């Protein structure tokens, strides 16, 4: 047997999460759950592996190329899910009788795509999806936008923008100009406009989509419409006039933005005709959400309406709409913006180990505080207090409790706050009532709810 050590390393495009990153990651997940549940979305889960035929051909040629797939031990061709929407379509087709329609679900889980790694984008990442299935009502489209806005605010953002378009407008426009058969190539080119600019898109439309000069000019004009929603809608209506599908999409956008204005969230939304969404299954409203502060990290929450996806698995009509928060991309942005706490522990309080003979007292005090709703860690070794305080500061504890023999004898403890080095002598008599009140006040708590 070789004594050579194996070098510990992760695969390209994959990463480990240390506590200082995993703690805020879990906190973001809890925020997502809270917002989704407030709208009545219920949790589900699906397997990591699906039959290859379930996944292939449902997203785009690109997602097919990026999919991790293999033949398992039973010689079945299987794939690892590349998003949570295609498994949802299979899920509702399989369980629609039990679920009842309309059905609102959220699903927070890991997906895999073998794409080129870049800042904030990995080959293994977590999505936080919410969807409404079984209705074509525009109410669900409006609600999807409202959930995104509430979610971004709950996550701590005020400067963000939800950019909205409608595939009916785009598809109707392409029909009018005789480009329906080249829709996929044209829409993928349009979707790149904000990243590469009009010159590069003109070249792609000409060389890849094979558009003539007049068609290319019309597509670029549509994609570059800008201004207030009413101005864009007016210009859009002129460009698609005479095409019923495009006119329907334009009216849907008009109704949505009227609702957003009435609900007072108009500052967070705008119409962006260049938003096309690369996945082939979208049929109506589409969303992409961008942070307005640097760094530029791309869309952090996107989605749209897909009225035909479940039709691949059932003859039952199961239209749907939803969106997905790219948790790890958002986390990367928050790290760059300095929005993440520095703590490496979920515990707010550390109890110093003044001497091992009093360990039972420390453990009893920790249990008392945990029953009151605090996260508490007892330092395991009786080291010098300076070393223990250094550890507490480095780990990110907010407060340290010190109790030597004299304090324990008089049923008191020293409570030191690391942020400002303030120190208070607090009684632990009467089941620690004074200490609990002091901790509640300092940690801005009400009852047992801890604000992270």
**Could you give the residue range(s) of every CATH 3.30.930.10 domain in the chain?**
19-336
CA distance 189 to 219: 10
* DSSP assignments along 45-83, one per residue: ---SEEEHHHHTTSS-HHHHHH--EEE-TTS-EEEE-S-
Q: What is residue 447's predicted lDDT score, i.e. its pLDDT? A: 36
Minimal CA–CA distance to 224: which of 207, 205, 241?
A: 205
- Cβ contact 271:233 at 8 Å: yes
The pTM of the full predicted model, rounded to 2 decimals, is 0.88
The CATH classification of domain 349-442, taken from the options 3.40.50.800, 3.30.360.10, 3.40.718.10, 3.40.50.300: 3.40.50.800
Sheet hosting strand 423-427, strand order edge to edge: 376-378, 349-351, 399-402, 412-417, 423-427
CA distance 446 to 351: 22
Q: Output the six-digit token pair for 90.
A: 């299979």
Q: What is residue 338's predicted lDDT score, i.e. its pLDDT? A: 86
Q: What is residue 120's predicted lDDT score, i.e. its pLDDT? A: 64
Q: How many Cβ atoms from other residues are within 10 Å of residue 384's Cβ?
A: 8
Mapping DSSP to helix (H, G, I), strand (E, B) and coil, where does residue 350 land? strand
Q: pLDDT of the chain along its 452 residues, tens only?
A: 567 899 999 999 999 999 999 999 999 999 999 999 999 999 999 999 999 999 988 767 788 899 999 998 878 999 999 999 889 999 999 999 999 999 999 999 999 999 888 766 789 999 999 999 999 999 999 999 999 999 999 999 999 999 999 999 998 988 998 888 888 888 888 878 877 888 888 888 888 888 888 888 888 888 888 999 999 999 999 999 999 999 999 999 999 999 999 999 999 999 999 888 766 678 999 999 999 987 677 789 999 999 887 888 888 889 999 999 989 888 888 888 888 888 899 999 999 999 999 999 999 999 999 999 999 999 999 999 999 999 999 999 999 999 999 999 999 999 999 999 999 999 999 999 999 999 999 887 533 333 33
19-336 sits in which CATH class?
alpha beta
Minimal CA–CA distance to 177: which of 209, 208, 148, 199?
A: 209
**Could you give the residue range(s) of every CATH 3.40.50.800 domain in the chain?**
349-442
């Amino acid at each position: 047997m070789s004594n050579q050590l194996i070098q510990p390393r992760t695969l390209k495009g994959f990463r480990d999460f240390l506590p200082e990153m995993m703690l805020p990651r879990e906190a973001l997940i809890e925020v997502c759950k809270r917002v989704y549940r407030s709208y009545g979305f219920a949790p589900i889960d699906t397997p990591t592996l699906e039959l290859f035929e379930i996944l292939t051909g449902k997203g785009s040629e690109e997602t097919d190329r990026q999919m991790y797939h293999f033949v398992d031990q039973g010689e079945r061709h299987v794939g690892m899910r590349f998003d949570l929407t295609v498994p949802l379509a299979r899920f509702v087709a399989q369980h629609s009788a039990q679920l009842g329609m309309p059905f609102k679900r959220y699903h927070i889980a890991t997906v895999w795509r073998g794409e080129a790694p870049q800042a904030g984008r990995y080959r293994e990442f977590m999505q936080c999806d919410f969807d409404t299935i079984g209705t074509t009502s525009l109410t669900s489209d409006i609600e999807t936008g409202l959930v995104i806005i509430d979610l971004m605010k709950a996550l701590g953002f005020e400067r963000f923008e939800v950019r909205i378009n409608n595939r009916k407008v785009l598809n109707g426009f392409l029909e009018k100009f005789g480009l329906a058969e080249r829709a996929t190539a044209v829409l993928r080119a349009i979707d790149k406009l904000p990243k590469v600019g009009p010159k590069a898109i003109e070249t792609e439309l000409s060389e890849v989509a094979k558009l003539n000069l007049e068609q290319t000019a019309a597509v670029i004009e549509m994609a570059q419409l800008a201004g207030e929603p009413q101005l864009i809608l007016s210009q859009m209506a002129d460009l698609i006039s005479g095409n019923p599908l495009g006119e329907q999409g334009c009216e849907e956008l008009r109704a949505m933005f009227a609702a957003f204005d009435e609900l007072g969230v108009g500052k967070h939304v705008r119409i962006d005709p260049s938003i096309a969404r690369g996945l082939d299954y979208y049929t109506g409203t589409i969303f992409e959400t961008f942070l307005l502060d640097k760094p530029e990290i791309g869309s952090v929450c996107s989605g749209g309406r897909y009225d035909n996806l479940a039709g691949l698995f059932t003859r039952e009509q199961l239209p749907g709409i939803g969106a997905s928060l790219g948790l790890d991309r958002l986390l990367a942005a928050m790290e760059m913006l300095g929005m993440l706490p520095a703590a490496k522990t979920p515990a707010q309080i550390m109890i110093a180990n003044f001497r091992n003979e009093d360990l039972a007292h420390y453990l009893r005090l920790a249990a008392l505080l945990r029953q009151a709703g605090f996260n508490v860690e007892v330092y395991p070794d009786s080291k010098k207090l300076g070393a223990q305080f250094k550890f507490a500061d480095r780990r990110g504890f907010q407060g340290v409790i010190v109790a030597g023999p004299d304090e324990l004898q008089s049923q008191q403890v020293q409570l030191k706050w690391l942020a400002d080095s303030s120190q208070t002598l607090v009684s632990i008599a009467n089941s620690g009532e004074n200490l609990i009140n002091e901790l509640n006040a300092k940690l801005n708590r009400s009852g047992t709810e801890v604000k992270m």
